[in-house]
């Protein structure tokens, strides 16, 4: 098997957004993500879990605005569209604190997040917003240190580093080791139609990992996972064969409606489905003209409060738009 890189350079992503920033403010798109493959292979001595995951950002997400003031000190955070903590426990706030401390900076930072990604869904909304804050601050303060940003992202959370790259990647370790896909592999994923759906309730990631650790037979076999990945990357297996998620069994035991809804979607639409992250969001791939039927199934099973969104896999990731100069 040919040698593959085990780490991603984020320099191209940094250069892409750095040129679009205004002096005092910036607006960023913070994408949701799906785990096309999420194989949890065991628990580490440091209490984190080893994983192998094929992760893809979507053309659907939150909006984050940063304003750098000059008349006061400190951080302020305003959240629109969701009931979330707007203080130091918020991950975007925490990212801002870590960034300022790391680079010895101070000043007034106003953060506004317009939420579209549902909470407790396994779609990476909080992590994406936090990385959006890191990238926006780097642009506002003219910081060009990709290694430091990667370290800060890893400190914030296991799935934060992937959002720095802004394209589909393989995650390994606890999520901090990023492996790029080659151009042909990215082309296969880019633009794939995706239907997102979830019940009104969310799922705690902490609970999901604890439930998985309580039954080690649920861990994925590392060798089998790598064989499947190699088979796809060598053109011997279709991408659809990689759709698996180690959390589906434990989640299905506690929340049986999730596998029941996915099974019905498979039967009635022919679409393939999987859990994203630890849930409760799921995603389906297939013909986009069948997505309306998926919406009807989820509403029938979970009621009008069920979340549904059509989107596509995006190879752009965190795409900044120009801010407003003061």
The β-bridge partners of 197 are 282, 308
Annotated active-site residue in 62, 159, 165, 198: 159
> Considering only CA atoms, which of 57, 305, 311 is closest in space to residue 201?
305
Write out the chain's pLDDT in tens, 326 residues.
Answer: 433 333 344 443 444 443 344 568 999 999 999 999 999 998 888 888 899 999 999 999 999 999 987 667 789 999 998 877 667 889 999 999 999 999 999 889 999 999 999 998 999 999 999 999 999 999 999 999 999 999 999 999 888 998 988 899 999 988 888 998 998 899 899 999 999 999 999 999 999 999 999 988 889 999 999 999 999 999 999 999 999 999 999 999 999 999 999 999 999 999 999 999 999 999 999 988 999 999 999 999 999 999 999 999 988 633 343 333 32
Give the number of residues written for the chain.
326
Cβ–Cβ under 8 Å, residues 197 and 308: yes
CA distance 53 to 34: 10
Annotated active-site residue in 33, 135, 165, 198: 33
Active site residue 190: no
Active site residue 263: no
pTM: 0.86
Domains of the chain (ranges, CATH numbers): 1-326 (3.30.230.10)
Q: In sequence order, what DSSP letters do the residues of 7-23 get, joined into one string? A: S---HHHHHHHHTT--S
């Amino acid at each position: 098997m040919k040698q593959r890189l085990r780490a991603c350079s984020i320099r191209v992503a940094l250069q892409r957004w750095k040129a679009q920033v205004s002096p005092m403010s910036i607006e960023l798109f913070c994408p949701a993500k799906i785990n096309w493959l999420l194989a949890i292979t065991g628990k580490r001595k440091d209490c984190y879990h080893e994983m192998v995951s094929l992760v893809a950002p979507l053309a659907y997400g939150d909006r984050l605005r940063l304003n750098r003031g000059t008349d006061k000190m400190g951080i302020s955070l305003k959240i629109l569209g969701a009931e979330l903590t707007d203080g130091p426990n918020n991950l975007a706030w925490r990212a801002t604190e870590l960034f300022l401390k790391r680079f010895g900076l101070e000043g007034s930072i106003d953060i506004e997040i317009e939420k579209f990604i549902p909470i407790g869904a396994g779609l990476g909304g909080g992590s994406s917003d936090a990385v959006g804050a890191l990238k926006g601050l780097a642009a506002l303060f003219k910081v060009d240190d990709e290694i430091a940003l990667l370290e800060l992202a890893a400190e914030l959370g296991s799935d934060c580093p992937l959002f720095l790259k802004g394209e589909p990647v393989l995650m390994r370790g606890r999520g901090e080791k990023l492996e790029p896909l080659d151009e042909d592999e990215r082309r296969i994923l880019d633009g794939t139609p995706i239907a997102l759906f979830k019940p009104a309730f969310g799922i705690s990631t902490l609970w999901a990992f604890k439930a998985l650790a309580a039954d080690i037979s649920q861990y994925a076999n590392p060798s089998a996972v790598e064989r499947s990945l190699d088979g796809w990357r060598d053109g011997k297996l279709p991408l659809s064969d990689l759709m698996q998620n180690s959390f589906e069994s434990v989640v299905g035991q506690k929340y049986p409606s999730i596998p029941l809804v996915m099974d019905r979607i498979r039967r009635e639409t022919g679409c393939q489905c999987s859990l994203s992250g630890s849930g409760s969001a799921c995603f389906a791939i297939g013909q986009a003209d069948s997505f309306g039927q998926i919406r009807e199934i989820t509403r029938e099973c979970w009621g009008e409060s069920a979340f549904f969104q059509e989107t596509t896999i995006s190879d752009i990731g965190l795409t900044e738009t120009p801010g407003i100069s003061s």
